[in-house]
Amino acid sequence: MDKKLFLGALVLCGTLHAQNPLTTSTQRYFNSVRRNLEASADAMPADKFSYKLTAGQMSFAEWINHSTQRNFADCAILKGESAPAAAQQVATLKDKAEVTQALKDSFAYCEGALKAMDDQKAIASPEVANAFLHIVVHNNEIYGNIVGYLRSSGVVPPSTAARASQKGKKN
């Protein structure tokens, strides 16, 4: 193959791949924090969903519900619609099964919103740009908060468990 033709094809492939670097990167980080939060809710024992590190803090379930509510609100903005009816009941959820399922439903709702995004849509307005970034930033903040709840309950946080698993595979 001619070198110029090969280099041209390589540049074209790189350009096509990088057409939406913002949304591609955000999707990757979204998937990571989604895995961590869903795995955290799954791993925390049911009797610890009402657990608080101190009396003035939110319970583990309240942190998860907060993530769920914000996911529905932010992703409704991305979709250009009102938040789904399920978002209205989130604050009342306390039991592990329903709290965990609502979180997973909110992430599935966001996944649909992200699939329809591209870089141009993500920066279309300050409200959309904020919601777009918020689904990653805010969920990472929540994960950072609940790690203490997990550790003090004897549960290894999912991100730590994943790194330990990777190290074990390398040996």
CB 136 within 8 A of CB 30: yes
How many folded domains does the chain comprise?
1
pLDDT in tens, 92-143: 999 999 999 999 999 999 999 999 999 999 999 999 999 999 999 999 999 9
Closest listed residue to residue 71, CA positions, set 100, 35, 113: 113
The pTM assigned to this predicted structure is: 0.85
Q: Is 132 contained in some domain?
A: yes
Q: Is 36 contained in some domain?
A: yes
pLDDT at 92: 95
Angle at 67 between CA 103 and CA 52, to 5 degrees: 100
Q: Is 116 contained in some domain?
A: yes
Q: Is 64 contained in some domain?
A: yes
For 48-61, what is the mean pLDDT? 96
Q: Which residues contact 46 (CB under 8 A, 6 or more apart)?
A: 95, 96, 97
Query: DSSP alpha helices (H): ranges in the chain?
Result: 3-17, 21-43, 60-79, 86-89, 96-115, 119-122, 126-152, 158-170
Q: Is 103 contained in some domain?
A: yes
Angle at 43 between CA 42 and CA 49, to 5 degrees: 80
Q: Which tokens belong to 71? A: 């996911």
**Residue 166: band (very low, low, confident or very high) from pLDDT cuts 50, 70, 90:** low
Q: Is 71 contained in some domain?
A: yes
Say yes or no to pLDDT of 13 above 70. Answer: no
Q: Is 169 contained in some domain?
A: no
Its domain, for residue 128, covers: 20-43+58-156
